[in-house]
Amino acid sequence: MKILYLGDVIGRSGRDALVAHLPGLRRRLSPDLVVVNGENAAHGFGITPKICDELYAAGVDVLTLGNHSFDQREILGYIDSDPRLLRPLNYPAGTPGKGVGLYPVSRGRKVMVMQVMGRLFMDPLDDPFIAAERELAKVRLGGGGADAVIVDVHAEATSEKMALAHTLDGRVSLVVGSHSHIPTADTQILPGGTAYQSDAGMCGDYDSVIGMKKDAAIFKFVRKIPGERLSPADGIATLCGVMVETDDRSGLAQRVAPLRVGPRLVEAWPE
């Protein structure tokens, strides 16, 4: 099975690039499932129902969120009705939405997609390790309820992402980081057979400060006083992500490779 994961979509530029490129990526790479982090899709802060529909129409199967999950208030009344939209699993009990879903793909197979949010330098949510363990206890990878398991770790600290990946090694297909907006060069298959990359990078304009316009971001660092509100850079976006190919019997990774398509970063194709 082939699963394509694309990192944080940043504003209009990221959405436009995703809509433009994803149909061609689906034809060229033939993924069974496409998972996209959309938590910055609405002008850099959250997502709206209209944007969800736009991304689904472009070929996205599952959307994950993160620390900006509820920045757009209309998502509060929508998220419970959309099984393809996931917020971090370890939000407190009673938070709208869910953090895990089981999605059918071709030939009767099913893929579990899960998102947890880290706690180092982030909001102090419930323990992501315990939250992930609780959900994995309900299925067994490779024929025990899920033919593949994808875990999006929305976290600031690389150490926390790596620790979680090693904890889950051999029991999930892919652990991939989001939130940092910079693609890392540590794409690998861990000893137990789980694919890993610390951060998939963003789908946004890389002539920026992690997707935001440079001048306002630099002002905040240099002057340390309130200034212009951060807003997404609006140049042509580069799509970044990772593609994993799994073994049909075990659900573990056979191959993993980064994807980068766009004008600024060196391109990389999983083929």
Which pLDDT does position 224 carry in this prediction? Answer: 80
Residue with tokens 């067994």: 140
Which pLDDT does position 237 carry in this prediction? Answer: 97
Spatial separation of the C-alpha atoms in residues 234 and 88, rounded to whole Å: 28
- What are the structural domains of the chain? 2-261 (3.60.21.10)
Which pLDDT does position 59 carry in this prediction? Answer: 97
Which pLDDT does position 2 carry in this prediction? Answer: 98
CB 115 within 8 A of CB 99: yes
Spatial separation of the C-alpha atoms in residues 236 and 229, rounded to whole Å: 21
Half-sphere exposure (CA, 13 Å, Cβ side) for 79? Answer: 26
Which pLDDT does position 225 carry in this prediction? Answer: 80
- Digit-by-digit pLDDT tens for the chain (271 residues) are 999 999 999 999 999 999 999 999 999 999 999 999 999 999 999 999 999 999 999 999 999 999 999 999 999 999 999 999 999 999 999 999 999 999 999 999 999 999 999 999 999 999 999 999 999 999 999 978 999 999 999 999 999 999 999 999 999 999 999 999 999 999 999 999 999 999 999 999 999 999 999 998 998 889 888 778 889 999 999 999 999 999 999 999 999 999 999 999 999 999 7
Residues forming beta bridges with residue 258, ordered by sequence position: 242
Active site residues: 68
Which pLDDT does position 227 carry in this prediction? Answer: 76
Which pLDDT does position 264 carry in this prediction? Answer: 94
Which pLDDT does position 228 carry in this prediction? Answer: 80
Among 116, 134, 133, residue whose Cα is nearest residue 64: 116
Q: How far is CA 215 from the centre of its chain?
A: 27
Which pLDDT does position 229 carry in this prediction? Answer: 84
Helices assigned H by DSSP within 32-84: 49-58
Residue with tokens 């993993």: 256
Among 157, 155, 176, 184, residue whose Cα is nearest residue 260: 184
CB 118 within 8 A of CB 154: yes
Which pLDDT does position 16 carry in this prediction? Answer: 97
Among 99, 100, 89, 98, residue whose Cα is nearest residue 130: 89
